[in-house]
Each structure stands twice: as C-alpha cells, then as structure tokens.
Amino acid sequence: MTAQYIGSFRRGWLTVALAAAVTGLGGQAASAQTYGLATMQPGTLAHTVASAIAKTLKEKGGLNTLVQATAGESVLIPMVARNEMELGMANMLEVVEGIETGKLQNDLRIIGSIYVLRIGFFARKDSGIATMADLKGKRVPAGYSAMRTLDKNTLAMLATAGLTLNDVKPVMVPNVLRGGDDFMAGANDVFMFSFGGPKVREADATVGGVRALKIGETPEGLEASRKIFPYGYFTEVKPIPAYVGVSEPMKVYSMDYILFTNSKMKDETVAKIIDTMANNKADMVAVAPAMNDFSIDTMYRKHNMTYHPGALKYFQDKKIEAKAY
C-alpha cells in the first residue's frame, strides 16, 4: 500500500469509529472479540461438533466463535497453547500426548470433556472382515503424520484382539480422511473413523456398504488396550441412522473428546462457555447428534491434565465433582 492510501484508510477508519462513538456503539465495538475454535477438516465428526458449539456460543452466549479447520489435532493443539487460536477440540489421546511430548503443560488448559468419541474400523460388507482379529495380514492405514497419536488408537484396538501393528500391513496416511479415501479407492482393506462421522456414510454409499468391526470386548481386551492408553473405555452402540455400518448392538472403543484453551483465556469467558453449553444442549444436538453425550456432570474428569481455573471455579460453584474413568 502507498503512504497516501494508508493515510486515507486511517482517516476513514477514524471517521467511522467517531461516528460509532457518537451513536453510542463505540463501547460495544471496542469490546467485541472473535474466538477461533480449532478443529478437524469438514467431513469429520469433530468439525460437525465444533460447528454446533460455535453456533450455540454465538447465538446463545454472545461469544462470536468461528470454526477454524486444520490439518489435524497434532497441529491444532500447539496452536491453541501458543494462543494462535483461543479454543481447540481434540480426542483425549491427542491432548495427553500433546502435553506430555510437546511440553505444553505450562500453556494448555482443559475446559472439559464434551462428548464420547467412539472409534472403529470399517470394512466392506462383502469383504469377510467382521472382527479386529480378522485384520491379521490385511492392509490397515497407519502413520497419520498430521494426527500422530492415531497409531496408538490402532494399537489399542488391535490389542483387544491380541494383535499388534506387526500383524497387519500398514499403509501410510496423513489423517483419517485420507485413510477413508484410500479405502474407497481400494488401497486399504479397512479404514478407521469415528462412529457417526460423515466419511463413513460416504464410504458406505461409494463401495456398496460397510460394516463396523467388532473389537475384543472382554475384560482382558480392555486391560490390554489400557496398557497402551489408560483412558480408553468401551461403550455400546445400537443400530441407528447415525451409526452407519452398525447392524446389531456392539461394544466399541471410546474415549473422551476434550475442549481446551490456554492460560491467557479469561476465567469469566471460560465460565460463560461452560454455562452456555450446559443450558443449551438441545441446540447443539440439533446440529450434531453426537452432543447427546454432553453432560455438565461428566465435563469434569479425573486425569493429570491442568484445568483452566475458570472451569474449576465453575465446577466448584455448581458442586460438580471429578468423575473417574
């Protein structure tokens, strides 16, 4: 820009600001803030949930929140820790790993658990692959360069059937979306995705039907998985329209999905976020049915990550105690 243009722009801006102040709007304009909510790309369950939360925070809480898609959760967690984004969402494994390996413990702050992330492997209905044990020798997505902890999800689910990554044929992918695309292109025998994720529905329509693989749902299977990641657990899913690939009740591998911020976020803003979500669950569910799992009583969980003081005060004021896994 030329100096003349910059000068003209500044004069114009000052004129607008002065006019706003004269009409009584200057205070509102000065106090307005936009909060970026970092999440996964469109087509993921996380992006759908983020859209529901952002819409609710804006319309019901007066917090102008914009969804910001990123390449993956390994990428967005340090962005939030550095305050390049005010808010972020990721599965608990990603957050735990980000804190422990990324040395973000002095910056990242947990707001709370917001829904249950149910993860599974999906195969073609006509493939003959029905359980995790059937994956021995099969082509399985791995690597996840933009979502580096997902190999642990794979290992945890394989462990429920007594398998390791050495028992399958790993095919390198950057993220779950690419894993789904490779599956539809015939480059993988299965793909890993969240139950209820749009990519599962896309794959189902593309290949003529998919099925969710059954995990080793025994106590021994859960114990084996927790040696890899201690905060994983099993939940049951039933055949509903949202769960493509589920034809009968089955147990699936699950973990919490976490909403977080950083140490620079104001206590009152965090409290406002929690309170708005707590009082407007139906609005979030209308956009993202996965938020049916949301409950103010299970936002506060027992783990070693640091909660934001605004969240802790809110839970204390509401007499909400931390729940164990």
The 10 Å Cβ neighbour count of residue 69 is: 16
In the chain, where the domains are located:
34-116+256-317, 118-254
Two domains, one topology: 34-116+256-317 and 118-254: yes
Q: What is the pLDDT of residue 20?
A: 39
8-state DSSP, 134? G
102 pLDDT band, cuts 50/70/90, is low
Give the separation between CA 53 and CA 118, rounded to whole angstroms. Answer: 19
The 10 Å Cβ neighbour count of residue 216 is: 22
Q: What is the pLDDT of residue 325?
A: 79
**Rounded to the nearest 10 degrees, what angle do helices 176-185 and 198-207 cross at?**
10
Largest CA distance in the chain: 73
Q: What is the pLDDT of residue 307?
A: 96
Q: What is the pLDDT of residue 104?
A: 56
Cα 2 to chain centroid, rounded: 44
Q: Helix, strand or coil for residue 149?
A: coil
Tell me the torsion sign for CA atoms 144, 148, 152, 157.
negative
CB 65 within 8 A of CB 217: no
101 pLDDT band, cuts 50/70/90, is low
Third-level CATH fold of 118-254: D-Maltodextrin-Binding Protein; domain 2 (3.40.190)
CB 178 within 8 A of CB 144: no
Q: Going by CATH, does the domain composed of 34-116+256-317 fall within 3.40.50.1980?
A: no
User: If you average pLDDT over residues 120-137, what whole number do you get?
Assistant: 97
| Per-residue pLDDT reduced to its tens digit, 224-251 | 999 999 899 999 999 999 899 999 999 9
- Asked if the model's pLDDT at residue 265 lies above 50, the reply is yes
| Per-residue pLDDT reduced to its tens digit, 5-47 | 334 433 443 333 333 333 344 433 334 799 999 999 898 889 9
CB 277 within 8 A of CB 297: no
Q: Which residue has the tokens 């993220």?
A: 175
Residues 6+ apart with CB under 8 A from 6: none
Report pTM: 0.77
